[in-house]
Chain A
Amino acid sequence: DAGITQSPRHKVTETGTPVTLRCHQTENHRYMYWYRQDPGHGLRLIHYSYGVKDTDKGEVSDGYSVSRSKTEDFLLTLESATSSQTSVYFCAISDWGQKGNTIYFGEGSWLTVV
């Protein structure tokens, strides 16, 4: 258990509204990630962070912004939600241990945009 909590776990929102998903970690990991699950595409990287206030774009960053003002929290914001952003969103952290660097995922946030 890498101590990752995502909130909300389920949300239904209307097209055009802003939505923020939160990822909280308890173990001081430097690297944090947001992925989305898409049929036929597997997991696609939206944004990632390599430290407080240090973030970079992933494969599918358009329409999303992120912020990391403290180590434990990584926020994903959909600036104006669209139906194409209906998906399951996974937060992840990477941790260096005995077996090398391993990525641990949160439980996912199910977002429906109607």
Chain B
Amino acid sequence: ILNVEQSPQSLHVQEGDSTNFTCSFPSSNFYALHWYRWETAKSPEALFVMTLNGDEKKKGRISATLNTKEGYSYLYIKGSQPEDSATYLCAPDSGTYKYIFGTGTRLKVLA
């Protein structure tokens, strides 16, 4: 089972602040990394699938980078808004289709 760590566990920021969090994963047998956004009482929603070292993906104010050699990915949110409040999950993919998620970073954006 892949050892996935996300930090911090929770985060409170003010509206308009930019923030970032980390997903760490084993760098061996890497195939892809998935980021998900999960709002309370809803289903997790895919944000990004990243495969190449140095990959950078962007979706609106949210972006992510990937370092497969050292086994980490950063998720950035620029100008946080209250609607960004959610838990952000990552899951590495070793090509086995067995997806183990990290415990997530719970983000609360205060208006």
Contact = CB atoms under 8 A, between A and B. Distances in A.
A99 B49 contact: yes
B108 to A, nearest CB: 15
A42 B34 contact: no
A103 B98 contact: no
A102 B32 CA distance: 10
Category for how many chain A residues contact B: 20 to 34
Contacts of A105: 43-45
Interface SS of chain A:
strand
A63 B98 CA distance: 20
11 contacts: A42-B101, A42-B104, A44-B101, A45-B98, A50-B97, A90-B44, A94-B97, A94-B99, A101-B32, A103-B91, A107-B43
Interface of B: 1, 32, 34, 36, 38, 43-46, 49, 51, 87, 89, 91, 93, 97-104
